[in-house]
Structure 1
Amino acid sequence: MQQTVLKRAVFFIGGYEPKTPEVFFSRLFRQVSRFDALWGYRSEISPVDVTQNNEAGAATISTRAPEEHWSTRTDFNFLSLDKVVLRDFARPMPVRLFHYLSAFFDFWISGAAFHFFNKAWRFGLYFVYPFLVLMMFALVAYSAAQVTAQWLGAASWLVGVLTFVLALSVAGKRWSIHHLMDLWSFSLDFIRGRRADADATLQRFAETIVAKARAESYDEILLIGHSTGGLLMIDVAARCLSIDKDFAGSARKVVLLTLGSTALKAGYHPAGRKFRKSVEQLINADQLEWVEIQCLTDAINFYRTDPVAEMGLAPKAGQDFPVVRTIKVRDMLQSETYARIKRNFFRVHYQYVYANTKPYWYDFFQICCGPMFLSARVEGRVVGGLPKKEATSL
């Protein structure tokens, strides 16, 4: 039986951020060149084909290793949340602030936030970070109003309001508070089924994936979600199964891969019943595999948790679903690179999808462009393209 991947399809959803296919692939191509430099490979990349509505982009990456005598073609598809995110960003700031505060207190009242701190205290701190900064801005604004009250009297409240607005506009943008406020608002609205635009977008993603899986013969299909994209890709995978009950058998291996996923923010929430039903649908799909990658250094994930068990669900008897693996960012990067990024928790969070600067078993581009099936790479924690004994001519 063929042990290597000759042709693969990757479908990728990133986190909650505005990014067009052109911008995404520009970054991806730079990372591919670093991947080639590390491993001594040669990758050729096709021009990017962008859909008419700019919602998805695709490029073919053909990678070969002359010394190891293998070559793999990957059809890489980026599924863009750009329009959904920019629609949120365009709302007036008072509206964004109101929706954020409503979401923040909803996560507490529902009990979900207590699970965050109980299971992943670093994620809990990430959750409260925007609120604490807003409270700091409010305290500064209150102090400004108090200081000016002796001169302005009752009008000093205007000074307080202006101080808060200025702090939120300048420091809030610099510290990503605007972005994080919208992220939590979106997350809650999605969990509660209040995002018809996102639902329609994810349905189109699923239809695109199923259509491409039917049109081509692939050895491996990877459905990859990073960060909030992990939550959304779980939903998309369930939609694919609803469209085509045989979708999980459309390639030799169809694998859901979640990287630094925040899916448990939906899994823990009492209103996440529909989401948990989607996870049950994945459990019941016999041929579908799921790999979850987590990292201690990354604050924006639920380290050392089994997402299925945490949702009160159970895989089939004898089934390891998902396969959960932890990684160490410091082992993926040269010491000077790691020292530079380790205190930037957003940059650490992105390392899942960046090129390594040191050989390590977890390598995003070995997974996407290399010759091994993901399940075999994860099981054996294989470093490089192939285990040395398997590096034979194709």
Structure 2
Amino acid sequence: MVERVKRLGQGRERGAYRRRVLYIPGYDPFPPRRYRELFRTEGAEQAAISGYSLTLKPRPGETYGWQVEAHVDGREVQAEVEVLVWSDLVKGSMARGILGTYVLLARTAWVYIASGALFRLVRLRKGPMIAALYPAILLVLQLLVALLAGALAVWIAPWPWIDLALGAGVAWATLEGFRRLDRRLYVYYLMHDFAFTALGGGVYPAVLEERMALFRSRIRAALASGVQEVLVVGHSSGVHIGVSVLADLIREGLPPDGPSLSFLRLGQAVPMASFLPGAQRLRADLRFLSECEEVTWVDVTAPSDGCSFSLCDPVAVSGVATEAQRWPLVISASFTQTLSPERWRELRWQFFRLHFQYMCAFDRPGDYDYFQITAGPMSLRKRFRRRSPSASRITRPYSPYRDAA
């Protein structure tokens, strides 16, 4: 009897769909546990809406992640999610004071203007470029307010011999006050985000290249773990990192008879990097990955997300598409349709929150369901095998630089 129960248990284990998910965050200085909490709360809400079960439990090991057990469409699913962490690099790049941030503003503006990339990006999509100009404009306005405050202090000061010191102190205190408000304004955060990409002219920083090599090793370990699918998810700035990591991985060679390899890209802003003169490596990786049979690549954006280059085929607009291109499948999450009117009215002006909606619950879900993709019994290729690209996707080349390494 014991042996029979043991065989039955093994049969149930073989019947479960098993997946490894490796998540690459965007430019985010916060610890990875925030993504676990987002998955836990939003996954529970989506499961209640869509009628399936989803539970999380801790994941052992040195790297950060969690395990998911789900029951979807009558089948058990076991998914292991791992966050590929680079938040420490983000924190290091943000460790600049007020003066350093203004220097970054000048250098970043020069890179985009002098290269001609800024004007091409504005023609491609105005929404994300408004988001890109927002920190620059706010920093200039903050500086003007600080200078006016300093001038006012000088004008009313009763001791002329300390006018200059008083004015400078008031101006600096005003700038510091604005910096302390950045948790609400996101001015310094966004400025450092754009500068991280721009300062090398599109070349990955050496510290990031080292971390990307580690990411490749984690994905390769997942491919050897006996699961049925390895799904790499990239969000925002993590998207173009994922492109280069997977391109290098496939060039090195995948294990024979390995699991399905899938790439889900959410809220991409690839042109911000690929349009820069030094981004030859990224453009080569885009072209290479777009022609690969070894991977399924789905790109999900939404026109309502002002922080992403929505419905832009990143390979085509970067000018590196060939006749052999097969990926990505560009589709829309259609926030105005997949969110109820009440929910949409609540979120439509929360621009930063909308940029994370791809990983949240939809109360009117369509064929895009983040939690069924990551913890459902169907591979990314099978789920979207009959899905056509969005008719409004943009494929016209816009990049001023199209050479590839």
TM-score by length of 2: 0.84
1:363 aligns with 2:332: no
Count residues with an aligned counterpart: 369
Offset of 1:194 from its aligned partner? 5.9
Asked whether the 8 Å contact 1:361–1:381 carries over to 2, the reply is no
Query: What is the aligned partner in structure 1 of residue 7 from structure 2?
Result: none
Query: What is the aligned partner in structure 1 of residue 133 from structure 2?
Result: 128
Asked whether the 8 Å contact 1:283–1:316 carries over to 2, the reply is no
Offset of 1:239 from its aligned partner? 2.6
Matching of residues 1-394 of structure 1 within 5 Å: 6-51=17-62, 56-65=63-72, 68-152=73-157, 155=164, 157-158=167-168, 161-162=171-172, 164-189=174-199, 192-193=202-203, 195-214=205-224, 216-242=225-251, 244-246=252-254, 250-251=258-259, 253-317=260-324, 319-380=325-386
CA 1:191–1:209 in structure 2 vs 1: closer, same or farther (change >3 Å)? farther
Moved more, 190-199 or 358-367: 190-199
Offset of 1:345 from its aligned partner? 0.5
CA RMSD of aligned residues (A): 2.4
Asked whether the 8 Å contact 2:16–2:75 carries over to 1, the reply is no
Q: Following the alignment from structure 1 to structure 2, what is the Cα–Cα distance between the partners of residues 291 and 131?
A: 32
Q: Following the alignment from structure 1 to structure 2, what is the Cα–Cα distance between the partners of residues 173 and 34?
A: 27
CA 1:72–1:172 in structure 2 vs 1: closer, same or farther (change >3 Å)? closer
Q: Following the alignment from structure 2 to structure 1, what is the Cα–Cα distance between the partners of residues 285 and 326?
A: 18
- Residue deviations 1:10-56 (CA, integer Å, cap 9, x gap): 111111112323332133222221122112222233313352xxxx4
SS in 2 for 1:258: strand
SS in 2 for 1:262: coil
Offset of 1:248 from its aligned partner? 9.3
Offset of 1:113 from its aligned partner? 1.4
Q: Following the alignment from structure 1 to structure 2, what is the Cα–Cα distance between the partners of residues 210 and 307?
A: 25
5+ residue gaps, structure 1: 383-394
CA 1:175–1:13 in structure 2 vs 1: closer, same or farther (change >3 Å)? same
Asked whether the 8 Å contact 1:25–1:48 carries over to 2, the reply is no
CA 1:249–1:294 in structure 2 vs 1: closer, same or farther (change >3 Å)? farther
SS in 1 for 2:64: strand
Asked whether the 8 Å contact 2:292–2:326 carries over to 1, the reply is no
Q: Following the alignment from structure 1 to structure 2, what is the Cα–Cα distance between the partners of residues 113 and 105?
A: 10
- Residue deviations 1:269-294 (CA, integer Å, cap 9, x gap): 11111111222331343322211112
SS in 1 for 2:223: helix
Bigger Rg, structure 1 or 2: 2
Asked whether the 8 Å contact 1:5–1:72 carries over to 2, the reply is yes
Q: Amino acid of the residue matched to residue 36 of structure 1? A: A
Offset of 1:333 from its aligned partner? 2.4
Offset of 1:110 from its aligned partner? 1.1
CA 1:193–1:271 in structure 2 vs 1: closer, same or farther (change >3 Å)? closer
CA 1:225–1:248 in structure 2 vs 1: closer, same or farther (change >3 Å)? farther
Asked whether the 8 Å contact 1:11–1:76 carries over to 2, the reply is yes
Asked whether the 8 Å contact 2:149–2:171 carries over to 1, the reply is no
Q: Following the alignment from structure 2 to structure 1, what is the Cα–Cα distance between the partners of residues 256 and 317?
A: 24
Asked whether the 8 Å contact 1:43–1:62 carries over to 2, the reply is yes
Q: Following the alignment from structure 2 to structure 1, what is the Cα–Cα distance between the partners of residues 287 and 262?
A: 16
5+ residue gaps, structure 2: 1-14, 389-405
Q: Following the alignment from structure 1 to structure 2, what is the Cα–Cα distance between the partners of residues 250 and 322?
A: 21
Offset of 1:94 from its aligned partner? 2.1
Q: Following the alignment from structure 2 to structure 1, what is the Cα–Cα distance between the partners of residues 246 and 16?
A: 21
Offset of 1:296 from its aligned partner? 0.5
CA 1:69–1:349 in structure 2 vs 1: closer, same or farther (change >3 Å)? same
Q: Amino acid of the residue matched to residue 223 of structure 1? A: V
Q: Following the alignment from structure 1 to structure 2, what is the Cα–Cα distance between the partners of residues 338 and 161?
A: 40
SS in 2 for 1:218: coil
